[in-house]
Structure 1
């Protein structure tokens, strides 16, 4: 069994040395930061005196940046000789921007730094995904077993944060986030540089330009549905920790609940290839959507610790299954030279929906408290309807031979 992804070659090109482990390290650089930022950055914003509504605005800023800047930046990476160099520059720049939080106070300055930081950080994950999926196509790399290590480090960061950050002065949350990105800035330098394919053909690439992909109904409906399913997590991402605190759960318990969700995601990634081969991308989308309806319907009912543990296990489906399905849907739909551009389309759509959901989360939680999760359940229902509508359009024709 491969430990961090397969490096077997599927073409006349040989994989770079330790391709799988080096991509896994890049995911670790991203998710060590995300593992602390997702549950604990809202608490730092609360520590800085921001209201629930202001927290919702700040947390929606990264998603808004996706819409206005990330898509074109990701598509631009497809024009470069190698996506890895551009990705490294973006990551290091984001770590420098993160340091600015230490020098600002007040809602407007914090919002400005958030916008600047995420201008650089947002494209990093889809670009690493694009490099990884190129490896799937060229070298038969196992995406799930590469990506799994990002989730493992996410769990470690979650548990460490729950143990130490919630019991420390509020500013320690910021120090931990800065530290994660600084360390990551050194490790990200190992990101493999695979360049463009040696037998590059321009035939048919114009059909899959960024602008033309926006006009493909099936492609857009599926990616929009995927974005809505991911956006249905907005309320738990923004106010999950605060909700659990209101129910008197300890910091360690909250960290464990977050970690358990990602542990379920890890299991899903471990068997991602098998699921794709036996269920297919559309089947995985449907399973993830049904699980989301169930999860968000029960979430506000305060099912007790055992119930929350079960609901967090569903994260393996509501996030993991949808993510795997999205990655393989993109790979199956476009030539390799347009994978980053296709990732950009999905990133913009998901960012737009997530921005609306996160921006609204402050208002929703303030006015409906936990009952707001029923709105998230309704979003999942809408996504299932869009997936069904997508099947009414013909399958996208990608004439490139599959790896």
Structure 2
């Protein structure tokens, strides 16, 4: 084999292209190697059901923070640039930890243990908010709470992807329950916050973290019994760390970063435009509902479409969305822009996970997904810090920076088409 060449795999779970006609069974572009094993299980106890239950609690705290964290921090005396630093520091630290956590999880007998321990650590840390004040105290507790939560997400996504591929179920529909839980938390937390005020933020955040930790105890075993020596894909990450593989991941990581900015700053921006907190919650809920719908219809809507095509489409649409958001449009346009979230985020996210699963084996599933998240967080550190500075001078016009960032991501994904691949 020539130097630098990538070992071709005999077949792929999720081809970056149309499903081959010879594939006897396929789901969401994946070749199935066995039949679902849950036929004799009570429906309520299937691995998919227990994983969906945990996913439904995974982003409840994120939903609460998307609307109220910035407002709560500002109420504690933090400036916009300090809020940007608080959100960026955990992301910076995860540049080192995510890849390491993924490697540890892959070497364990199952990915479940890492997920459960992370959930409990993330449940204990928010209790520190009851005792701290000021920038440094909030930064410390926010970081301790965020690290285990963020570290577990790529491990869970990789584990759920491999489990659903093996059993013949759909990862997208399973992942959608994370957004459903996000929507439920938005509705419930918004109602409580409007009645109880900003003082309810920390108790609600701690409660959501505790609920997630309890749900983690019901997670199933994700790996199949025994080993699968014929599993497709690279068994070492270095086998696929080539420009044709890296550019799409880097490009969509930039797109992801522009979406993460909304979680940190959009509540403040819309409030400054005279939009009430209740309406802010509804606007974010529209985006979450659009994302949920995309997760459920993805495999039927885009069966046979190449993953990078979908990643590129999400990047281009994101650049357009942020350019329109920079105009500080009124509510009618904002409803429409939020409804695009399923295409700008949901479609791109699933396509990115699909692209990775295509070229990597189960031996490095969590490590590869963790690497993708490392790229996302590296881009997010720059986006968070930059957006905070732009927002101080331009207000909603800071979205022009997000539009440029997403356009650069689209260019990187497009460039990968020009390179040779296996």
TM surpasses 0.5: yes
User: What residue in structure 2 maps to residue 270 of structure 1?
Assistant: 296
Q: Give the equivalent residue in structure 2 for 1:347.
A: 373
Q: Which residue matches 1:93?
A: 121
How many Å separate the matches in 1 of 2:293 and 2:35?
A: 32
Cα distance between partner residues in 1 of 2:356 and 2:155: 13
C-alpha distance 142-369 of structure 1, shift in aligned 2 (>3 A): same
Q: Is the 8 A contact 1:299 1:308 kept in 2?
A: yes
| Aligned match for 2:259, one of 233, 239, 245 | 233
Q: Does 1:284 align with 2:310?
A: yes
Bigger CA drift: 342-351 or 18-27? 18-27
Contact 2:322 2:403 survives alignment (8 Å):
yes
Q: 1:172 is matched with which residue? A: 200
Q: Secondary structure at the match of 1:279?
A: coil
1:348-392 superposed Cα distances (whole Å, 9 cap, x missing partner): 111100111112222111122111101111111111110111112
Find 1:121's aligned residue among 146, 149, 165.
149
Distance change (3 Å), C-alpha of 1:87 and 1:66: same
1:131-190 superposed Cα distances (whole Å, 9 cap, x missing partner) = 111123211120111111111111111122322214433221111010001122111111
Q: How far apart, in 1, do the equivalents of 2:238 and 2:374 lie?
A: 12
Structure 1 217/197 Cα, relative in aligned 2: closer, same or farther at 3 Å? Answer: farther
Tell me what 1:399 maps to.
none
Equivalent residue, structure 2, for 1:84 = 112
Superposed displacement of residue 204, structure 1: 8.6
* Matches of 1:325 and 1:148, distance apart in 2: 14
In the alignment, which of 53, 57, 67 is matched to residue 95 of structure 2? 67
C-alpha distance in 1, partners of 2:231/2:268?
A: 52
Q: SS at 1:14's partner residue? A: coil
**What's the secondary structure of 2:221's corresponding residue?**
coil
Q: How far 1:319 sits from its partner (Å)?
A: 0.8
* Contact 1:82 1:196 (8 Å CA) reproduced: no
Could you tell me how far apart the structure 2 residues matched to 1:197 and 1:12 are? 15
Residue of structure 2 equivalent to 1:209: 236
Mapped pair 1:247 → 2:273: yes
Give, in whole Å, the separation in 1 of the partners of 2:237 and 2:70: 34
CA apart distance, 1:37: 1.9
- Other structure's SS at 1:359 match: helix
Q: Does 1:130 align with 2:158?
A: yes
Taking structure 2 as the reference length, the TM-score comes to 0.87
Name 1:14's counterpart in structure 2: 37
Identify the structure with the greater helix proportion. 1
Residue of structure 2 in register with 1:106 after alignment: 134
Shift of 1:337: 2.0
Deviation at residue 65 of structure 1 after TM alignment? 2.1
Alignment CA distance shift 1:113-1:212 (3 Å): farther
CA distance in 2: counterparts of 1:339 and 1:203, whole angstroms: 11
Are 1:195 and 2:218 counterparts?
A: no
Partner Cα distance (1:333, 1:276) in 2 = 19
Q: Could you tell me which residue of structure 1 aligns to residue 246 of structure 2?
A: 220
| Partner SS for 1:277 | coil
User: Structure 1 stretch 381-390 or stretch 159-168: which is displaced more?
Assistant: 159-168
Unaligned runs of 5+ in 1: 397-403
Q: Which residue of 1 aligns with 2:384?
A: 358
Deviations 1:268-322 (A, max 9, x none): 1111112341433122112211211111011021221110000001111111011
Q: Distance in 1 between matches of 2:302 and 2:161?
A: 14
After superposition, the CA RMSD in angstroms is 2.0
Alignment of 1:320 with 2:320, yes or no, is: no
Aligned equivalents of 1:309, 1:203: Cα separation in 2: 44
Aligned match of 1:55: 83
Q: Following TM superposition, by how much is the alpha carbon of 1:45 offset from its aligned partner in structure 2, in angstroms?
A: 1.1
Once the two structures are overlaid, the 10-residue window that deviates more, 46-55 or 190-199, is 190-199
Cα separation, 2, equivalents of 1:221 and 1:247 = 37
Q: TM-score w.r.t. structure 1 length?
A: 0.91
1:229·1:292 contact (CA, 8 Å) conserved in 2? yes
Comparing 227-236 and 9-18, the one that deviates more: 9-18
Name the CA distance, whole Å, in 2 between partners of 1:235 and 1:134.
30
